[in-house]
Structure 1
């Protein structure tokens, strides 16, 4: 893993500590000269980008459609998505292309139905997708209005599937180890069962989360998540197996509602909870997906964590220490208020960063490079 020495040096010289821009970490001088290109358009709330080995992209859209993007041309994938319940924040969400796609042609999606959030594995044949694991995993909680029904997937360095879930705006869910909501799950990509070595002997890897929107895995295996806060404190967290991340809007079961005035990470109630690596303070940005910038083409930005923001309509660039701390935060002007709400983030096989907009009409996939 390369350390971002050059970028960190700029931060030290700048000496900026703006709380508004940097949250709980110092702000860095914005990198100059990022190039932003539109590689696909005409989409509706694209949630994710999954790269096929030949460079084509599968792009799931929240209303219940999958686009196949080939050199700018967008084709609808023929797939039975009739049970997708697109309401509120929920619908067709994350997508992961299997590492053996060359031979298996498989990918997995996560979406809301009328009763739950579930993972389904598909086989792609041309522009047609057929379900082959239906479901790979079912029973993730969902809310009738779709609130906090998020689902973000990523493969860890062992090929296990990490799944970040929302708490469905129910106060007891995040701390309940009998529920799959408000958690990060770690499961076998082929069977949907809990992966070996999980801390509780089942599918749960971490708990006490509010609404995870992004999961990013560094080359050395470090996992960071991006998570929505209530009226304060969006968080970037470093995952620790078995960790409690301290969200408890039930106040230990003493309130029957959903008390969002509690701290995002309640260290008074849970002294052993894992503190956030970074928190936004106020205002929140509604941070979303996350991806590491990788490769020499990024120069001093190699190894930086890029995080999209919905409400903030920007990309935040986090300089991450070897141990997983946040050294500083920068906001490139090319991606601040220029394309509206930004949701998906994925490093492409060409080394570029791919970001999706989430404005609802004529949404785009953006390709971002360092000059």
Structure 2
């Protein structure tokens, strides 16, 4: 469906934000390995503008009514090129909102997170007019991920060349492609819901692959005659070859430890044996056998990191030399300040929390404007989304003297805390743990997602035998099950890392919320079941 175009560069995204209140809770900060108490941060509208220290920031919608834009990239023609998950590649003029459709890929297979995903433009399009995309394809019952190169001529993409094809799935396909300044392709692949593939260097799943532009294998790859550049990944969702010459990724963890990584040639990034930092005895023992590259930063509870970009501009000076990270579950833009060498994250700041919804991709223009794509019409929309104009690409820019602005801008004071939505109840105990770990799948109302994630409301597994429920939370669940008469077949991670008290609290909440009226669970009952499982 053609996007509804806005007529002016600074058209309002219509944000009205009265109050944001941060949750005050205990979270695990994997950069220190310890728990820390988060402070409360209150934010209000101030002069209808967003203020980053002394820099005023404006927001405007460039294009709206899109069908799940997955990748956005700044083109050398000064247009924004983007993919939509169902198979369409377009570009939009950020100054006028004019859209041009470049290609509809007929054989894209779309379900859940499968579809048309990553895209990269060659850094020298005049000499090499190539666009490389990653999409999911289905042949009978076989699901595949394809890497295909197109040639760009006169606002069309022609002459598809299949560079590589690997096993795919409805999830964990990875999604990102980038091309380095030397013309080499980097393709981030997921484990395709087979975690054992990530450590198997003969498999191309759970890897970063490096190819020549014609699909051949570079002679200087770390493994002879192999496309594998680095390995040990669950599901990479962000990939950027930064102006500082470093390759960075963002990656979805399982129940814990979303990551941002600095990628080194031949590096092992741990999955599934090490998650986040190797901070448990088992992970430390594994690292002594196989050297594992630790992340620059990890998040527990998870935030579902997505697209990532490098910000080297001085247009927003407070963001200079930072990684810009969009998030899905956390519904925010994270600004990760780097040290001069680009090898350490010094600080994290959170912006637009739950204002725009799920954020999938980000890119930066040469003059320092930031462009963000929302993902509110995908398979897992958050509460209160999608809005009528979703999905959209928005512009974040430094307000300059003389700029003509629409009236609706918000002020978000600087902070490093995750924030709740306006008027949202501050949860505690079992409800807080549920919101942090469970609600993204089973939803805040306990109704789940039809056909994908089962409901907890009136579910036998939730309100029935207490020992069975504790066992599920401690050990996870995989394979087909029936809940309230409907079949489901998704993996649920193990939550054994939670304490006995935390498991008791969250399960008691599940058994009493959503009109459930089951008896509570005690920490001693969890302790007994945990001991029986050892």
Q: Same fold (TM over 0.5)?
A: yes
1:101-120 CA-to-partner distances (Å, cap 9, x unmatched) read 23543211110101311111
The equivalent of 2:99 in structure 1 is 74
Conserved 8 A contact 2:30-2:299 = yes
Would you say the 8 A contact 1:22–1:330 is kept in 2?
no
**Corresponding position: 1:263 with 2:275:** yes
TM-score (norm 2): 0.59
Task: State the Cα distance separating 1:158 from its structure 2 match.
Answer: 2.7
Higher helix proportion: 2
Q: Which residue of structure 2 lines up, in the alignment, with residue 161 of structure 1?
A: 185
SS at match of 1:295: coil
- Corresponding residue for residue 164 of structure 2: 137
| Number of residue pairs matched by the alignment | 334
8 A contact 1:90–1:150 mirrored in 2: no
- The equivalent residue for 1:297 is 315
Aligned mates of 1:113, 1:277 — CA distance in 2: 33
- Give the conservation status (yes or no) of the 8 Å contact 1:186–1:203: yes
1:307 counterpart residue number: 325
- Residue 173 (structure 1) aligns with: 197
Distance of 1:368 and 1:131 partners within structure 2: 35
Q: Give 1 or 2: higher strand fraction.
A: 1
Q: What is the CA-CA distance between 1:23 and the residue it aligns to? A: 5.7
Distance in 1 separating the partners of 2:219 and 2:307: 26
Pair 1:24-2:35 in alignment: no
Q: Does 1:241 align with 2:265?
A: yes
Note the alpha carbon deviations across 1:192-225, whole angstroms, 9 max, x for none.
Answer: 1223421112211110111001112222311111
Contact 1:233 1:284 in 2 (8 A): yes
How far apart are residue 323 of structure 1 and its match?
5.0
Equivalent residue number for residue 367 of structure 2: 350
Specify whether residues 19 and 181 from structure 1 end up closer, same or farther in structure 2 by C-alpha distance, changes over 3 A only. farther
- The residue number in structure 2 matching 1:329 is 348
How far apart in 1 are the matches of 2:99 and 2:70?
15
**Displacement of 1:151:** 2.0
Alignment of 1:1-371 (within 5 A): 20=27, 24=31, 31-32=52-53, 33-70=56-93, 71-79=96-104, 81-114=105-138, 115-133=143-161, 135-138=162-165, 140-143=166-169, 146-188=170-212, 190-201=213-224, 202-248=226-272, 263-264=275-276, 266-271=283-288, 272-281=291-300, 283-321=301-339, 322=341, 324-332=343-351, 335-360=352-377, 362-371=390-399
Greater RCO, CA 8 A, separation 6+:
1
d(CA) in 1 for partners of 2:28, 2:392:
26
Q: Which residue of 2 aligns with 1:4?
A: none
CA RMSD of aligned residues (A): 2.5
Partner of 1:12: none
Given that 2:197 and 2:206 are in contact with CA atoms closer than 8 Å, whether structure 1 keeps it comes out as yes
CA contact (8 A) 1:194 1:204 kept: no
Structure 1: 5+ residue runs without aligned partners?
A: 1-17, 252-261
